[in-house]
């Protein structure tokens, strides 16, 4: 009788242990670890993807039209077909600017269980390390991660627009955008490095031509945390004046479409028709989820810039806007394009060419970056 009771107790303990099994998740830069709860489903251990996402701080997005769940983590997008065991993995190649595709079969389907998307334990312990072979591995009961999904701002790329054979917008008395924005970008680099503990890089250091695609590739290749493209504006209406800041999205009004056309025209004029087709290819534009992961921060950065610029310079406030600028496509980080004023306006063009006004612009942009970095680092720095 006692042996029977002992057997029942051991069986019960084993059952409870199985039902409440946990996966230990640890970042290799910390001694602490997280316990990811698992549960039994169809005689297999499953875990809630939302629970794992809370640990790695990724992005999840459900696409109802095609029954897919997208999970963005460690700069890769994993797409699951609901109630399927197949996953499509898309990652951005810094060297080519193109998306690369991989496919995995984890044999047991992702399922919607009690209002939560859940995956079999096998995916996390066996397949996830295959997706990230250099940064994830399972060892001695621990899922070890040697990278984190978020970090503080350490590298900023400043992009002085145009250059070389592309003068950009032109004003009175031979004034050219390419010279003004390069001078401002150099000043801003010095100002940032004086006070902030970051590395600042320029997409061009002199009067040289750099294609729009190569500017973004440069930022990605250097693992930039911010990308800021600096420009001056122009319009047929010579009275047009003021400052505006853009983030990447569809243009929503005629003024935004005009600015978009002006900045994108460099492709046809200086890079050719083939380059235009390349910019238009779906592969060159990173996926919606990767873009949306940066969109909110890009908008926040744009408002920080716009508010500081208008306050410091007392220029006309033309607002924060969206447009489909080629130079911002493919950016793997929060990114904006700032129009510092209209070089086509005689009075504003004269101001833009003056050192003291450029210094005002630099100071206001610096404080926009400083304010954004404080907010971003607080929310994203390693714990």
pLDDT tens per residue, range 276-310: 555 555 444 444 555 566 888 899 999 999 999 99
User: What percentage of residues in the chain have a pLDDT greater than 70?
Assistant: 79
pLDDT (0 to 100) of residue 65: 67
pLDDT (0 to 100) of residue 209: 93
CATH at 328:
3.40.630.40
In a 3-state reduction of DSSP, which class is residue 173?
A: helix
Answer whether residue 255 shows pLDDT above 60: yes
- Tell whether 11 is covered by a domain: no
Domain residue limits at 345: 155-380
What's the whole-number mean pLDDT along residues 359-377? 95
pLDDT in tens, 223-236: 899 999 999 999 98
pLDDT (0 to 100) of residue 381: 57
Q: Given 145, 170, 192, which residue is the final one in a domain?
A: 145
Q: Given 145, 175, 208, which residue is the final one in a domain?
A: 145
- Tell whether 308 is covered by a domain: yes
- Tell whether 364 is covered by a domain: yes
What's the whole-number mean pLDDT along residues 185-210? 96
- In this structure, the answer to whether residues 76 and 167 fall within a common structural domain is no
- In this structure, the answer to whether residues 71 and 179 fall within a common structural domain is no
Answer whether residue 9 shows pLDDT above 50: no
- Tell whether 110 is covered by a domain: yes
- How many domains is the chain built from? 2
Q: Given 145, 170, 194, which residue is the final one in a domain?
A: 145
Answer whether residue 265 shows pLDDT above 50: yes
Answer whether residue 6 shows pLDDT above 60: no
- In this structure, the answer to whether residues 125 and 188 fall within a common structural domain is no
Burial 58-77 (b: 16+ CB within 10 A, else e): bbebeeeeeebbbbbbbbbb
- In this structure, the answer to whether residues 22 and 109 fall within a common structural domain is yes
- Tell whether 13 is covered by a domain: no
Task: State the number of CA atoms in the 13 A half-sphere of 103 facing the CB.
Answer: 4
- In this structure, the answer to whether residues 93 and 242 fall within a common structural domain is no
- In this structure, the answer to whether residues 41 and 133 fall within a common structural domain is yes
What does the alpha-carbon distance between residue 89 and residue 260 come to, in Å, rounded to a whole number? 32
- In this structure, the answer to whether residues 160 and 68 fall within a common structural domain is no
Q: How far is CA 289 from CA 105, 224, 284, 299, in A?
A: 22, 19, 14, 16
- In this structure, the answer to whether residues 343 and 314 fall within a common structural domain is yes
pLDDT in tens, 303-352: 999 999 999 999 999 999 988 777 787 777 899 999 999 999 999 999 99
What's the whole-number mean pLDDT along residues 122-151? 89
83-87, 160-164, 270-274: range with lowest mean pLDDT: 270-274
- In this structure, the answer to whether residues 272 and 164 fall within a common structural domain is yes
- In this structure, the answer to whether residues 137 and 194 fall within a common structural domain is no
pLDDT (0 to 100) of residue 320: 95
- Tell whether 150 is covered by a domain: no
Answer whether residue 95 shows pLDDT above 60: yes
158 CB contacts (<8 Å, ≥6 apart)? 185, 188, 189, 200, 201, 202, 203, 228, 230
Q: What is the pTM of this model?
A: 0.73
56-70, 330-344, 349-363: range with lowest mean pLDDT: 56-70
137-151, 196-210, 248-262: range with lowest mean pLDDT: 248-262
- Tell whether 9 is covered by a domain: no
86: β partners:
105
CA dihedral 276, 251, 75, 84 (to 10 degrees): -100
Q: How far is CA 46 from CA 15, 36, 93, 159, 244, in A?
A: 15, 10, 32, 46, 49
- In this structure, the answer to whether residues 207 and 268 fall within a common structural domain is yes
pLDDT in tens, 12-31: 444 444 444 899 999 998 89
- In this structure, the answer to whether residues 248 and 137 fall within a common structural domain is no
Rg, the chain, Cα only: 25
- Tell whether 8 is covered by a domain: no
Average pLDDT over all residues of the chain: 84
336: β partners:
228
What are the tokens at 46?
């499953």
């Amino acid at each position: 009788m006692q042996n029977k009771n002992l057997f029942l107790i051991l069986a019960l303990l084993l059952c409870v242990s199985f039902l409440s099994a946990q996966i230990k998740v640890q970042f290799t830069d910390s001694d602490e670890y997280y316990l990811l709860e698992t549960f039994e489903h169809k005689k297999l251990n499953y875990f809630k993807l939302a629970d794992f996402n809370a640990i790695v701080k990724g992005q999840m997005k459900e696409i109802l039209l095609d029954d897919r769940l997208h999970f963005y983590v460690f700069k890769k997008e994993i797409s699951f077909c609901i109630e399927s065991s197949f996953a499509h993995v898309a990652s951005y190649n810094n060297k080519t600017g193109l998306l690369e595709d991989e496919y995995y079969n984890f044999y047991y389907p992702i399922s919607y269980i009690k209002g939560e998307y859940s995956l079999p334990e096998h995916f996390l312990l066996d397949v996830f390390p295959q997706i990230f072979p250099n940064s994830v591995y399972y060892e001695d009961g621990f899922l070890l991660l040697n990278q984190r999904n978020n970090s503080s701002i350490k590298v900023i790329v400043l992009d002085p627009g145009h250059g070389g054979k592309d003068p950009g917008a032109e004003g009175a008395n031979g004034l050219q955008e390419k010279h003004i924005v390069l001078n401002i970008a150099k000043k801003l680099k010095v100002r940032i490095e004086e006070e902030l503990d970051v590395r600042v890089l320029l997409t061009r250091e002199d009067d040289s031509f750099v294609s729009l695609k190569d500017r973004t590739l440069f930022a990605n290749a250097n693992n930039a945390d911010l990308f800021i493209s600096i420009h001056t504006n122009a319009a047929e209406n010579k009275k047009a004046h003021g400052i505006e800041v853009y983030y990447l999205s569809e243009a929503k009004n005629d003024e935004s479409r005009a600015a978009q056309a002006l900045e994108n025209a460099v492709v046809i004029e200086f890079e050719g028709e083939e380059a235009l087709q390349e910019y238009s290819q779906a592969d060159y534009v990173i996926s919606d989820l990767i873009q949306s992961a940066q969109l909110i921060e890009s908008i926040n950065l744009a408002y920080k810039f716009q508010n500081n610029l208008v306050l410091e310079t007392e220029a006309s406030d033309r607002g924060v806007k969206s447009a489909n600028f080629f130079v911002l496509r493919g950016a793997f980080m929060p990114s904006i394009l700032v129009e510092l004023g209209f070089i086509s306006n005689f009075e504003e063009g004269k101001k833009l060419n003056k050192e003291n006004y450029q210094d005002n612009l630099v100071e206001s942009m610096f404080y926009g970056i400083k304010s954004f970095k404080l907010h971003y680092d607080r929310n994203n720095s390693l714990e």
